[in-house]
């Protein structure tokens, strides 16, 4: 294995905390690596020896079965030892601080910590306290970099095809609760880095006040925005938002910002349908759209494993003595 700085040229920092850690070339390199590693998942024996003897900790302060399992599968396919550390029922629930937990894991010899946490910036803090690699698996309403990478991977596969390519010329609408979405933040950074044209579609209450600074277009009209799109990314709506007066009712939200067959007819290009999951059927997306031939929602899940293998491989593989 060549050393890490070669593998990651020109730039991938020691950790993956935010998409802004990546250069355009670095991002494409991850996607290309994922493409290569995807073949492992298709093989009868789904395993590479690359990370044998390395320990990867899944440190999850929020319930997220899908992301945790995806990282676990990725690490195991690279032969790493995986420790799942869930905050519930552990010392964390007895009031241990994130820092103390981090130092404990370090003492146990964790080479990488994959962190899911409800606080924005939690992965940044963790990286300040530990020597190991930190991978952000979702921090509060900040970022979810590997989700954006798997989305970009899925989009490139369908809309571009070849390795080495970016997403220039691709038009994508990201629809829903942008304000509270870490998936949206990471995707805005990554997809724009790769040259895609992004339109955010949401009611004004669910867009951040500083959104004018983002490299995106804003639309309050989904019917209009869907017209020219190559892909539509629907975001999960948290029902508790209704209590804080972000929108009047679930039905009104669904009528204005939900995806259904009627709205799909207004598109000129039969866009791909993406959703990070879990889906609220009948709220942000109708059941028939979720199960539509243009829906790549389940494929996103499969691609998630490949992309996470690539990230683990690139961050951990090269430094193995």
Partner 1 sequence: MSNVEKIANKPIVIQSAYSLEGKKVDLRIESGVISDLSEAGSLKASDVDVINAEGLQLLPGLVDLHTHLREPGREDAETVRSGSAAAALGGFTAVHAMANTEPVADTAGVVEQVVRLGRKAGYCDVFAVGAVTQGLNGAQLAELGAMAHSMANVKVFSDDGKCVFDSLVMRRALEYVKQFDGVIAQHAQDPRLTENAQMNEGVVSARLGLAGWPAVAEEAIIARDVLLAEHVQARLHICHVSTAGSVEIIRWAKARGIKVTAEVTPHHLLLTDSAAESYNPVFKVNPPLRTERDVQALRTALVDGTIDIVATDHAPHPKESKECEWSEAACGMVGLETALSVVQESIIESGLSNWKTIAERMSTAPAKIGRLTHHGLGITKGAPANIVLYDTAARRTVSEIRSASKSMNNPYFDRTLPGQVMYTFLHGNLVVAKGDLVNPL
275 binds partner 1 (CB under 8 A): no
* Least CB distance to partner 1 at residue 215 (A): 12
User: How many Å apart are CA 215 and CA 104, to the nearest integer?
Assistant: 40
63 CB neighbour count, 10 Å cutoff = 11
99 binds partner 1 (CB under 8 A): yes
236 binds partner 1 (CB under 8 A): no
User: How many Å apart are CA 200 and CA 225, to the nearest integer?
Assistant: 9
By beta-carbon proximity to partner 1, the closer residue of 76 and 241 is 241
**Near partner 1 by CB under 8 A: residue from 67, 101, 141, 254:** 141
* Least CB distance to partner 1 at residue 126 (A): 9
121 binds partner 1 (CB under 8 A): yes
Which DSSP symbol is given to 181?
-
Residue pair 313/51 in contact by the 8 Å Cβ criterion: yes
Count of residues in the chain:
321
* Least CB distance to partner 1 at residue 128 (A): 8
Nearest to 70 by CA among 60, 140, 45: 60
Q: Please give the residues from 203 up to 222 whose contact with partner 1 meets the rule CB under 8 A.
A: 208-214
Peptide bond preceding 14: is omega within 30 degrees of 0, i.e. cis? Answer: no
140 binds partner 1 (CB under 8 A): yes
By beta-carbon proximity to partner 1, the closer residue of 83 and 211 is 211
Kindly give, in sequence order, each residue whose CB lies less than 8 Å from that of residue 230, ignoring residues fewer than 6 positions away: 155, 159, 170, 171, 172, 269, 271, 272
97 binds partner 1 (CB under 8 A): yes
HEC sequence for 21-51: HECHHHHHHHHHHHHHHHHHHHCCCCCCCCC
* Least CB distance to partner 1 at residue 130 (A): 13
182 binds partner 1 (CB under 8 A): yes
106 binds partner 1 (CB under 8 A): no
320 binds partner 1 (CB under 8 A): no
Chain residues in the site for partner 1 (CB under 8 A): 97-99, 117, 119-122, 124-125, 128, 139-143, 182, 185, 208-214
């Amino acid at each position: 294995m060549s050393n890490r700085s070669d593998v990651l040229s020109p730039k991938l920092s020691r950790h993956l905390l935010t998409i802004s850690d990546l250069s355009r070339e670095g991002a494409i390199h991850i996607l290309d690596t994922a493409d290569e590693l995807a073949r492992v998942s298709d093989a009868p024996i789904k395993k590479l020896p690359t990370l044998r003897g390395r320990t990867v900790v899944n440190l999850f302060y929020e319930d997220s079965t899908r992301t945790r399992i995806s990282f676990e599968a990725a690490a195991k396919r690279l032969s790493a030892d995986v420790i799942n550390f869930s905050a519930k029922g552990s010392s964390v629930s007895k009031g241990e601080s994130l820092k103390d937990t981090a130092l404990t894991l370090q003492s146990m010899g964790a080479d990488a910590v994959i962190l899911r946490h409800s606080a924005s910036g939690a992965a940044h803090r963790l990286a300040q306290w530990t020597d190991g690699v930190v991978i952000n698996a979702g921090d509060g309403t900040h970022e979810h970099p590997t989700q954006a990478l798997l989305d970009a991977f899925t989009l490139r596969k369908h809309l571009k095809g070849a390795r080495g390519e970016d997403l220039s010329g691709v038009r994508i609408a990201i629809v829903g609760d942008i304000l509270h979405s870490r998936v949206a933040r990471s995707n805005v950074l990554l997809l724009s880095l790769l040259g895609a044209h992004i339109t955010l579609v949401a009611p004004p209450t669910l867009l951040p006040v500083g959104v004018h600074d983002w490299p995106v277009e804003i639309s309050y009209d989904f019917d209009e925005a869907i017209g020219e799109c190559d892909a539509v990314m629907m975001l999960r709506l948290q029902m508790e938002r209704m209590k804080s007066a972000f929108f009047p009712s679930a039905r009104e939200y669904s009528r204005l910002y939900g995806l259904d067959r009627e709205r799909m007819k207004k598109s000129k290009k039969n866009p791909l349908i993406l959703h990070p999951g879990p889906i609220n059927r009948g709220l942000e997306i109708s059941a028939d759209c979720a199960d539509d031939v243009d829906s790549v929602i389940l494929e996103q899940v499969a691609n998630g494993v490949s992309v996470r293998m690539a990230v683990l491989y690139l961050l951990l593989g090269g430094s193995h003595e």
